[in-house]
Structure 1
Amino acid sequence: MFCYLFEAKSIQSYLFRNGKLKDVIAASERLDRLVDSSESSVLHYVLNNAGLISDLLSPDMEEKAGLIRFLRCKGGAFYAYCAEEAPLVQLRSLWTLSIQQLFPTLEFTDALTEAPSLREAVSAGHKQLAADRNAPVIKLPFASAITSRYQRTGAVRVPVIEDAKRASLKSELEDDTFDLDTSLHRQAYQVIGLRNTSPLQQRFTPTGHDEIYYPINIEEDFAFSASGVIGDNSDAAKDIALIHIDGNGLGILLMAMRDALEGKTDEEYRKGFRLFSESLGEATIQAAREATAVVYEHGRYNKDGKTYLPMRPLVLGGDDLTLLCRADLALEYSRVFCQTFKKASEQCLKPLFRQYLKKTSLKPFLTASGGVLFHKAGHPFTHSHHLVESLCDAAKKLTKSVNETDKQVGPAALAIFRLSNAVSDDFEQLHKQTYQFDLDNKRSIAYAQSAFFVEPQGQRGSLELLQRLAKCCRQRGAVMPMNRWRQMATWLSQGNFAEADRLYERAMSLTTQPMLREELEEMLRAFAPEGKATGWFWHKEKGVSESIIGDLLIVDHFRPVEAPVSKEAEL
């Protein structure tokens, strides 16, 4: 049995490579067409033009000589096998050539293996992929010492063709040159027709709302705030959120599948993993559509006679999701996606569990954790994607913290952060710089946790509870109004713990509503480790205290609008 494995690597880095949103959008649309079990995918075009027979579009195709079968074909990766070597050699040659022509600097790994069984061939292929990741690869066109380079990426400059020019402003052209990838993105931007529908956009669009458009020009087309909303919530104008969410427990489920298919025929092995790939993709699409329906309900607006949503899909493949969203709707979008993904995965994976995983102790669903990064619309996206991935890692760390073993699927979690300066630090370093301040007696305090469970986990605090706490503090007659928390944050940033504590204690002592005080204290205790609550802060580790003031201020500032926006509201 011969097996060919292909995986595109560092997709997020490739998307945000030059920092221009126009190119990010074009790259995302192009990459979305790369690998998929549809007629519009690049993979289908390569197979079709090479005259190769495959089950890409018809998984139940009958066996025949030279037939290429697929175990996986989603999310920038595919695994294919064939009883003969020649078809896979031809596929590999034409496929890698196509990748280098369409996406010159995209990193990828591939492997062609042979083994007595499909399981052994796939296992050998994974080992080769791991080795291939460490092998240096020269990308063409090669940038020598005397080569002129495009200043945004450092890659070789190439002449800009006419289609790319039409998609660019004069100020963007450097002597009529781009690097090759940017030139290809601009051609796609002009030729594909990104203002109209696309397969990527359709997978986000809620069922029954086909006539929906997504902005491609942030400055001209994007509605940063709800029409007609006035007051303190309008401060969020010109802020935008970058959301990146990734599934939990995928590796655990894959290992369980391999164990369950031990000793099975190649056909059963293929069907099992193909079913898993398709089911996972369907669950992710359902969750994305349900979350997008929230944006449709609260944020749709009309421009030039078309209904737009204040969000821009970037990635939706496998169990990954990345998009730009109006800042005040981002937390609600992320929360709904995580909750729906859990339910949708349970529903979509039912056939898989019924056929292959009935005897395992695994929970019959997957969860998702991610990061939500708030920043100004003009912030360079080159740095943003690194930071939002670090936020996602922080959320996943919280997810795993409640697992008793490494074979459990943990609860959904989200990490949030508001970025004010252009930085390239990872999240842990940036969190310390932004929220952790030195006090006297060699102590310090971090006044933000950043990562929270989406839903309550026993007595532990959650994003839902944090939002409820913010709502309580906004009400008239609140024990601790939001402006009092802001004053405390200011004192803490100056290293004055005593004054911050005095503000809190004074508010507690002056309240005439003991029930509201008890409710506030109970909510604050939920965020502290068990037995360590001391009011508005708690001891995290030796010499370091922690609070949620910073998180509370973010949630309050970017709270969702209270009422739906009229469909006829003009931008």
Structure 2
Amino acid sequence: MHTFYYGFTVYSIQSYIFETNKLKEIIGASEIVEKVCKSEFQTHFKDFLQNATVLLEAAGNIRCVFSISDAELDSFKETYARFSMKITLAYPELKFCQAIHSLKEKNDPSAGDIKSLNHSLTTKKQQPVYYPRLACMGVARNQRTRKIQSYPNRTETQQELDLSTKVKDTHSEGNLLLDKLKNIHAEFPIKLEEIASEQSYIALVHIDTNGLGKFIEKLIDKANSKALQKFSNEVENATLCALRTAIKETFPIVKDATDKNKPKIPFRPVLIGGDDVTVIIKAEHAFDFTRIYMETFEKESQKIKETDKKGLTVAAGIAFTKQKFPLHYTADLVEDLCKSAKAGSNRTYSAIRVHRVRNTYASDFDRIITSELRSTEKETFYNAKPFSIGELAQFQKDIVALKKDDFPKADLENYLSQIIVNNPQRTFLKDRMLEKLPESDVAFIKNMQKETLDLPYLYNLINLQKLVTT
């Protein structure tokens, strides 16, 4: 009997999914990632899964322990070799790699085995990828992606799609992803225009769990693949429960809906896998959705035995952008925001980092901090500490106070803008603004009158007030 630890990874997922701004193609790309990790893998390796333990099938990753007899060995090796070619031909330009590691005299991978497999996968990621459809000048191309059209002799009704976009388009129903939300009776949009109008804002939200690796390492040290599989399933169940709850609470109309009467909501899941969630949502609902998701996930994860009833925490990045702004920039930014939230919270609490996109270099958050959120070394609009769940809830309440007629919004906005350009009159503008402040029990208004101004907080209030419902 031979035991193998198998790994498959789809990389550059965000680039693949958000290559265009057409929601149907985004849905199709996400569906392909889900399909490869579930049905394609299970169908291709079906003859060997009876004695296998699938540890992970989510978010573009597969990890599986195969037990192969001597009689099956040659067939298994051939099946393994064919899988790469099958995926390459079926899903053009999907970047992936697979690797396999032999486990000697044991059925569970050790920490060393996992490290070796991950090293093999990382090495293969760095190898150049060649696609069979190459061409020189003078060929018809997709005007949006600049790739070779798959319909060189198309009719008038056929779109000028390249092969990769065509495959995404054929998977645009997104059934595998929506099956995870089968208890949600809602109609999900297939066009960005159904989420927000052209000049309105949408939000891209990316949520990821903190410190999941340390729990996995403990299970690996015990060399217990069954426990690792159980833990992965429980984390995914907590994710799905939190997601369903957040949708229902954010859009109450869904609660009383039925299969025959599905309301359309301005929300579309893009990636649901393991502990990862990425969604596109109308800007005004982004804070409510994120806050409810995080609260529910923390509560549900307390049921997982390995957390000792303490539960897990998550980090979220929220990028607000105009509906027509290229989503591949926003996707890079929202990942940066999520990483920044993790770093700023030291992964000790659930944290949220938000940003409203104003410039074309929006994919690089470090550059945004330098060029947009900082005026001088001493005066900055960047706070290294991200919002906690409670602080996000308070932020929403403070926006209500900010929007009242007696609050000098225009004076505050003018003062903040003069800080950016280092106007010497900014002190005068500050004093004039403070004179107009209403008497209030709201903490941030009282603090403006008594303490040094919290510029990052005020900047976020002014910057995001029009995007948040009150």
TM-score of the superposed pair, with normalisation by structure 1: 0.72
Kindly report the root-mean-square deviation, in angstroms, between the aligned alpha carbons of the 2 structures: 3.3
Match of 1:428 among 353, 357, 366: 366
Q: In the TM superposition, what is the alpha-carbon distance from 1:289 to its structure 2 partner?
A: 0.8
Could you say which residue in structure 2 is the equivalent of 1:63? none
Match of 1:127 among 107, 119, 124: 119
Q: Whole-Å Cα distance in 1 between the matches of residues 424 and 245 of structure 2?
A: 44
Match of 1:136 among 113, 128, 145: 128
CA deviation map 1:151-185 (0-9, x unaligned)? 544444332798x996x7x5xx2xxxx32211111
Q: Whole-Å Cα distance in 2 between the matches of residues 19 and 307 of structure 1?
A: 24
Structure 1 residues 322, 112: closer, same or farther in 2, change over 3 A? same
Could you say which residue in structure 2 is the equivalent of 1:447? 381
Question: 5+ residue gaps in structure 2?
Answer: none
What are the equivalent positions in structure 2 for 1:55-454 lying under 5 Å apart? 55=50, 67-84=51-68, 85-86=73-74, 88-116=76-104, 117=106, 118-120=108-110, 121-143=113-135, 149-159=141-151, 173=160, 178-189=161-172, 193=173, 198-204=175-181, 207=183, 209-210=184-185, 212-219=186-193, 221-222=194-195, 238-259=200-221, 261=222, 264=223, 269-297=224-252, 306-347=262-303, 349-350=304-305, 352=306, 364-400=310-346, 409-423=347-361, 425-438=363-376, 445-449=379-383, 452-454=386-388
What are the equivalent positions in structure 2 for 1:461-476 lying under 5 Å apart? 462-475=391-404
- Please say which of residues 378-387 and 420-429 is displaced more in the overlay: 420-429
CA deviation map 1:106-160 (0-9, x unaligned)? 1112112213133244443222122222222323324567866545444443327
- Counterpart residue identity of residue 271, structure 2: V
- Counterpart residue identity of residue 394, structure 2: L
Q: Whole-Å Cα distance in 2 between the matches of residues 222 and 425 of structure 1?
A: 22
Contact 1:416 1:451 in 2 (8 A): no
Find the residue that maps to 1:14 and give its secondary structure: helix
Q: Whole-Å Cα distance in 2 between the matches of residues 281 and 469 of structure 1?
A: 34
CA deviation map 1:370-413 (0-9, x unaligned)? 2111111111222221111111122122121xxxxxxxx52111
Find the residue that maps to 2:241 and give its secondary structure: helix
1:28 maps onto 2:30 in alignment? yes
Structure 1 residues 201, 553: closer, same or farther in 2, change over 3 A? farther
Contact 2:56 2:64 in 1 (8 A): yes
Structure 1 residues 281, 512: closer, same or farther in 2, change over 3 A? closer
Could you say which residue in structure 2 is the equivalent of 1:2? 4
What are the equivalent positions in structure 2 for 1:32-51 lying under 5 Å apart? 32-36=34-38, 41-48=39-46
Q: Whole-Å Cα distance in 1 between the matches of residues 420 and 263 of structure 2?
A: 44
Structure 1 residues 429, 71: closer, same or farther in 2, change over 3 A? same
- Counterpart residue identity of residue 553, structure 1: I
CA deviation map 1:65-93 (0-9, x unaligned)? xx233222222211222232445424423
Contact 1:395 1:413 in 2 (8 A): yes
Structure 1 residues 512, 240: closer, same or farther in 2, change over 3 A? closer
Could you say which residue in structure 1 is the equivalent of 2:49? 54
Q: In the TM superposition, what is the alpha-carbon distance from 1:11 to its structure 2 partner?
A: 0.9
Question: 5+ residue gaps in structure 1?
Answer: 56-66, 225-235, 401-408, 457-461, 526-532, 538-545, 563-571
Contact 1:203 1:285 in 2 (8 A): yes
Structure 1 residues 278, 518: closer, same or farther in 2, change over 3 A? closer
CA deviation map 1:417-439 (0-9, x unaligned)? 1113433540121233223225x
Q: Whole-Å Cα distance in 1 between the matches of residues 250 and 35 of structure 2?
A: 25
Could you say which residue in structure 1 is the equivalent of 2:445? 520
Q: Whole-Å Cα distance in 2 between the matches of residues 218 and 253 of structure 1?
A: 38
Contact 1:342 1:365 in 2 (8 A): yes
Could you say which residue in structure 2 is the equivalent of 1:530? none
Contact 2:21 2:324 in 1 (8 A): no
- Counterpart residue identity of residue 370, structure 2: K
TM-score of the superposed pair, with normalisation by structure 2: 0.86
Contact 1:290 1:337 in 2 (8 A): yes
